[in-house]
Structure 1
């Protein structure tokens, strides 16, 4: 994981407020066990209980320091690095009350993000050597988007749109309500800032060809079989090369099953997008162990 990605996450203007909200959700009016721990210092460490990719370590220090500014965290594994069962991940030291109060929230976040990173890495491995990238989608857990997209990056994937304001993606309903591909693209071009990209989600070869002809920057080919893509991708490249708007068009496949990834990558596609690492992954089991 690039240090710049972690830095960008930690600098996100909404992160601290989210961390406070998640702590508040668990602590409520106050941890009822705190009186048993007041005045006591404590040490603890995290371990992985199964193999996978670790993610979320960069959140541990800012989260615990909201409870006790004196807490110290020593990361032993960087986000995006593989771990094995039993491996020590990080060390913590501070007030025992703070360590207990933040334990569940911190672990929940890291286990969720580590599961996404691990699932992403498994799919990225299937595309190794093809030059085709694996991208995420906007199917994210409300309130967790920046973290889940960070986890995809930790797993070797790339981020698609963060929101509706990143790029215009025209889908089935847009095309129907606008009266077709060309009118929809024209309407967006007339109002969007000039650097904005316009992507069309195509469900048929005819829609894909119309999108390229109308000047789309990208075409998302939804649920096309590898055999269909092998015929369609060269046609779209040829059509793009001859258009006045310029020859570059990004061709993206979606609705691809894991076992199809290699075959789809061989068709000349640029990108495969999937929500699977976020919507279908399991948490990676981690544990916090307190030291006497």
Structure 2
């Protein structure tokens, strides 16, 4: 069994981290399939079907389908969250939500394999997108990597949030969504601790080897302020500005941050940053 840190945080063994990497590989393959499929004329429900086929074909279960933050409330209906343009996170896949050339769609995906969760997100351009959208996506992705770089024993949660916020600010006048953030992950998808995308360096919980965290910044082309639609899931920007969302599940190891949901196209990034090989 894993041991627990305070406050009630799972500390995984190396074998358990390897099991989480297997779940992460399933998520990586599902996201690769969705990225390849995303094109004008497809609906977000079509993308959901692509991801679910990959997940179930690997013998895993979609983490999101039926997920209930509040047990008495209806569960989430999709295998992915598909958030288009001004939708930031938690977009419900719908047949009526048809992608158009120039859209950006943020796809968040989770899978459970042998009791362990993987969770990752990418923002995908649909057809030809504007240079402004490309820069926003690049800024959000870089902020994720800067946050991940702080996942080392002895660092603190505030170091992660500070790195993410400073990175987003350094790229221009982008909003950094603060109402949502990363989280612990392991035998459940959402666990302690909550990982803010802003913070003060040297403050907060001290990181330990064996912790596993999902790091997920959300950047916007306007202000950071968001609202939840009447479906009680979809989060949108209040000013209608477009948004990006990137996420990886990461283990804290003595060798550095091990990215458990790494995809093949992340390999160069891991090597550039001297992150440990997660096993391909």
User: Higher Cα Rg: structure 1 or 2?
Assistant: 1
Normalized against structure 1, the TM-score is what?
0.25
Normalized against structure 2, the TM-score is what?
0.26
